[in-house]
Amino acid sequence: MNSKVVITTDSPADLSAELETRYDIHVLPLYVNLGDKSYRDGIDITTPDIFRHYDETGELPSTSAIPIGDYETFFKSFVDAGKEVVHFSLSSGISSTHQNAMIAAEGMDGVHIIDSLHLSSGIALQVIRACEMRDEGKSADEIAAAAVDFNKKTCTSFVLEKLEYMKKGGRCSTVAALGANLLSIRPCIEMSEGKLGVARKYRGKILDVKKKYIEDELNAHKDDADLSRIFITSSSISDADEKELIDKILSILPFKEVLRGRAGCTIASHCGPGCTGILFMTK
């Protein structure tokens, strides 16, 4: 293990506390705004708080990028301790966090900023891969050089149960064009070149839709999926439904590890309740 290297990321990586501890990952929060108050993602506010607020008031939260000053303080704490940093940011295609991180790192030796070009557990997959390289003794330079291409091997997609959060949030213009929930459209959203787009459209009961989505996604990657791990990440889901979906995943491809992810406040503010995705890497 290279103890001189620190792996860091933004809160929209949606890492659990268990994974942060297991891989020694340091996370900096974005901000979630409700009314005239601002909260740190995952610290001062949780995903159920956001859904409860919307149900009670009809007001959707907004999110704010991590300020340059927060990044400067964060990175400096490691540099001053003699560490080198490899930081994975939320996709530059949907947030200014990456640009802010780049500005903050200017003039700091040993701070590498990687544009994940993904979100949620798509970032987490890249972060974990970097941690494995660190634990193999790789240097920050070596990790950063390899990490530039991680995004090309990352598959990030999810199915929306409710459209209004993403329609109003404006993060995916093609969702806005789909119309209201009257048609019971359940779009599959994919990350491509750092941006969100509608890949497929489903109709029907949401659990059946999620199973069909898993079939489509995994069958498309039967020959090239990296079977080390897969995330099934949801903004909200019952234990029973999640188990059914995990069984579905493993009936198609024998992943060695299925990690259960939960969308944090930043991601949930745009995808709404009931959203579920499977996220994995290719070989």
Give yes or no: residues 268 and 136 share one domain. no
Give yes or no: residues 13 and 136 share one domain. yes
pLDDT grade for 177, boundaries at 50, 70 and 90? very low
Instruction: Retrieve residue 4's tokens.
Output: 């001189």
Give yes or no: residues 116 and 174 share one domain. no
Give yes or no: residues 161 and 144 share one domain. no
| DSSP H stretches of helix in the chain | 17-23, 47-57, 68-79, 97-105, 121-135, 140-147, 164-169, 173-176, 206-219, 239-252, 265-271
Residue 17 has pLDDT above 80, yes or no: yes
What pLDDT is stored for residue 227 in this prediction? Answer: 98
CATH number of the domain encompassing residue 194: 3.30.1180.10
Give yes or no: residues 123 and 175 share one domain. no
The CA-CA-CA angle for residues 63, 69, 73, to 5°, reads 115
Q: Does the residue 44 lie in any domain?
A: no
Contact 98, 92 (CB under 8 A): yes
CATH number of the domain encompassing residue 106: 3.40.50.10440
Q: Does the residue 23 lie in any domain?
A: yes
Q: Which of 130, 150, 170 is the last residue of a domain?
A: 150
The distance between the two most distant Cα atoms of the chain, rounded to a whole number of Å, is 57
The CA-CA-CA angle for residues 211, 248, 189, to 5°, reads 40
176 or 106, greater pLDDT? 106
Give yes or no: residues 146 and 170 share one domain. no
> What's the average model confidence in pLDDT over 21-39?
94
pLDDT grade for 209, boundaries at 50, 70 and 90? very high
Give yes or no: residues 105 and 81 share one domain. yes
What pLDDT is stored for residue 34 in this prediction? Answer: 87
Give yes or no: residues 112 and 178 share one domain. no
Q: Does the residue 228 lie in any domain?
A: yes
| Distance of alpha carbon 147 from alpha carbon 133, whole angstroms | 10
Task: For residue 259, give the amino acid letter.
Answer: L
Q: Does the residue 48 lie in any domain?
A: no
Give yes or no: residues 10 and 109 share one domain. yes
Task: Kindly report, residue by residue over 239-271, the tens digit of the pLDDT.
Answer: 999 999 999 999 999 999 999 999 999 999 889
Containing domain of residue 145, as a range?
Answer: 5-33+64-150
What pLDDT is stored for residue 180 in this prediction? Answer: 45
- How many domains is the chain partitioned into structurally? 2
**Strand ranges of the sheet holding 31-34, from the earlier edge strand across to the other edge:** 37-40, 31-34, 62-64
Calculate what percentage of the chain has a pLDDT beyond 70.
94
Q: What is the DSSP letter of 90?
A: S
Residue 278 has pLDDT above 50, yes or no: yes
The CA-CA-CA angle for residues 98, 134, 194, to 5°, reads 25
Q: Does the residue 101 lie in any domain?
A: yes
> What's the average model confidence in pLDDT over 125-152?
97
Q: Which of 96, 120, 150 is the last residue of a domain?
A: 150
Residue 198 has pLDDT above 50, yes or no: yes
Give yes or no: residues 142 and 77 share one domain. yes
Task: Kindly report, residue by residue over 45-70, the tens digit of the pLDDT.
Answer: 999 999 999 889 888 888 899 999 99
> What's the average model confidence in pLDDT over 195-214?
94
| DSSP H stretches of helix in 154-198 | 164-169, 173-176
Give yes or no: residues 146 and 157 share one domain. no
> What's the average model confidence in pLDDT over 95-105?
97
Q: Which of 122, 150, 178 is the last residue of a domain?
A: 150
What pLDDT is stored for residue 1 in this prediction? Answer: 85
